[in-house]
A and B are shown apart, each in its own frame.
Chain A
Amino acid sequence: MMATPATGLVGIAVLLALLLLGGRIGAVLGLVGIGGLMLVLGPEAALIKSGVVVIDTLTRYELGTLPLFLFMAQLFFSIDASRDMFDAAAKLIGHRKGGLAYATVAGCAGFGAINGSSLATTATVGMVAYPEMRQRGYADTLATGTIAAGGTLGQMIPPSAALIVFGIIAETSIGQLFTAAIIPGLTQALFYALVVFILVRIRPELAPAGLRAPWAQRWKALGRIWEILLLVILVIGGIALGWISPSEAAAIGASGALLIAAIRRKLTLQTLYNAFHETLQTSGMIFLIIIGALIFSVFVGVTGLADSAGELVAALGLGRTGTLMLVALMLLLLGSVLDGLALMLLTTPILLPVVQSTGLGAIWFGIFITRTMEIGFVHPPLGMNLYVMQRVAKDVQIGRIFRGVLPFLASDLLHLLILILFPGFVLWLPHMLGK
Chain B
Amino acid sequence: MKRKLAIWVGGFALLAATLIDLLAVIGRHVGLPLAGSIELMQSMIVISGATGILIATMDSSHARVRILVDRFRPGWRASADRWSDLLSLVFLLALLIGSAWIAIDLWGGHEQSELLGVPWRLLRLFANACLAATILVLALRIFRSRSR
Which residues of A come within 8 Å of B, CB atoms?
18-28, 30-31, 34, 46-52, 54-55, 57-61, 63-64, 67-68, 71, 244, 247-248, 250-252, 254-255, 258, 272-273, 275-277, 279-285, 287-289, 291-292, 337-339, 341-342, 381-382
Per the bound structure, the CA–CA distance linking A244 and B21 in Å amounts to 10
Per DSSP, are chain B's interface residues mostly helix, strand or loop, or mixed? helix
On chain B, the number of residues with a Cβ less than 8 Å from chain A's Cβ atoms is 61
* Pick from A22, A255, A281, A283: contact of B83, CB under 8 Å: A22
Are A273 and B18 neighbours in the complex by a CB distance under 8 Å?
A: no
What residue in chain B is nearest A277 (Cβ atoms)?
B7
Residues of B within 8 A of A27 (CB): 62, 84, 87-88, 90-92
Alpha-carbon distance A24/B8, docked complex (angstroms) = 26
The chain B residue with its CB closest to the CB of A30 is B91
Q: When chains A and B are docked, how far (Å) is the Cα of A275 from the Cα of B8?
A: 11
Query: Do A22 and B42 contact each other (CB < 8 Å), given the known contacts A67-B52, A255-B18, A285-B62?
Result: no
Residues of B within 8 A of A282 (CB): 52, 56, 61
The verdict on B102 contacting chain A, using a C-beta distance below 8 Å, is yes
Q: Are B98 and A52 in contact (CB under 8 A)?
A: yes
A58 with B21, Cβ < 8 A, contacts A48-B98, A284-B56 known: no
Looking at the assembled complex, report how far the CB atom of A10 sits from the nearest CB atom of chain B, in whole angstroms.
18
Question: Closest CB of chain B to A393's CB: distance in Å?
Answer: 20
Q: Which of A31, A59, A288, A381 contacts B45 (CB 8 A)?
A: A59
Query: With the chains together, A282 CA to B10 CA distance in Å?
Result: 12
CB pair B52 A280 closer than 8 Å = yes
Q: A55, B65: Cβ atoms under 8 Å?
A: no
- Chain B residue with Cβ nearest A381: B67
Interface set, chain B 51-70, CB cutoff 8 A to A: 51-57, 59, 61-69
Query: In the complex, A108→B49 CA distance in Å?
Result: 29
When A18-B87, A251-B21 are in contact, do A51 and B102 touch as well, CB less than 8 Å?
Answer: yes
> B17 contacts which of A30, A46, A68 (Cβ < 8 Å)?
A68
| B24 on the A face (CB < 8 A) | yes
Contact partners of B102 in chain A: CB under 8 A: 48, 51-52, 55
**Helix, strand, loop or mixed for chain A's interface?**
helix
Q: Which of B24, B91, B127 has the most CB of A within 10 A?
A: B91
The residue in chain B whose Cβ has the minimal distance to the Cβ of A23 is B87
Instruction: Provide the bound-state CA to CA distance between A24 and B57, in Å.
Output: 10
Chain A neighbourhood of B20, CB < 8 A: 251
* Chain B, 10-45, CB within 8 A of any chain A CB: 10-11, 14, 17-22, 24-25, 38, 41-42, 44-45
The residue of chain A having its C-beta at the shortest distance from the C-beta of B113 within the complex is A59
Contact of B10 among A61, A248, A276 (CB under 8 A): A276
User: Can you add 18 more A-B contacts, CB < 8 Å, to A23-B88, A64-B45?
Assistant: A21-B83, A22-B83, A25-B65, A26-B91, A30-B91, A31-B87, A47-B94, A55-B102, A58-B45, A59-B45, A64-B17, A68-B18, A255-B18, A280-B51, A282-B52, A284-B54, A338-B65, A381-B67
| B101 sits at the interface (CB 8 A) | yes
Partner of A24, one of B24, B45, B84, B100: B84
Enumerate 5 A-B pairs (CB-CB under 8 Å) in ascending A order.
Answer: A21-B80, A25-B63, A60-B42, A67-B52, A252-B21
CA distance A234 to B25 in the complex (A): 13
Q: Which residue of B lies closest to A292 (CB)?
A: B91
Q: Which of B17, B42, B54, B66 is close to A251, meaning CB atoms less than 8 Å apart?
A: B17
B133 within 8 Å of A (CB atoms): no
B53/A64 in contact, CB under 8 A = no
B18–A254 touching, CB < 8 Å: yes
In the complex formed, the residue of A with least CB distance to B87 is A23
CB contacts (< 8 Å) of B7 on chain A: these are 273, 276-277, 280
The complex places the Cα of A187 from the Cα of B83 at a distance, in Å, of: 43
Point out the residues of chain B lying under 8 angstroms from A48, CB to CB.
98, 101-102
A250 near B49: Cβ-Cβ < 8 Å: no
A34 to B46, CA, bound (A): 22
CB contact under 8 A between A22 and B65, given known A31-B90, A50-B94, A287-B53: yes
* A291 contacts across to B, CB distance below 8 A: 95
Interchain CA distance A304-B51 in the complex, whole Å: 35
Residue contact A58 to B127, C-beta cutoff 8 Å: yes
Say whether B98 contacts A22, CB under 8 Å: no
In-complex Cβ contact of A272 among B11, B24, B63, B68 (8 A): B11
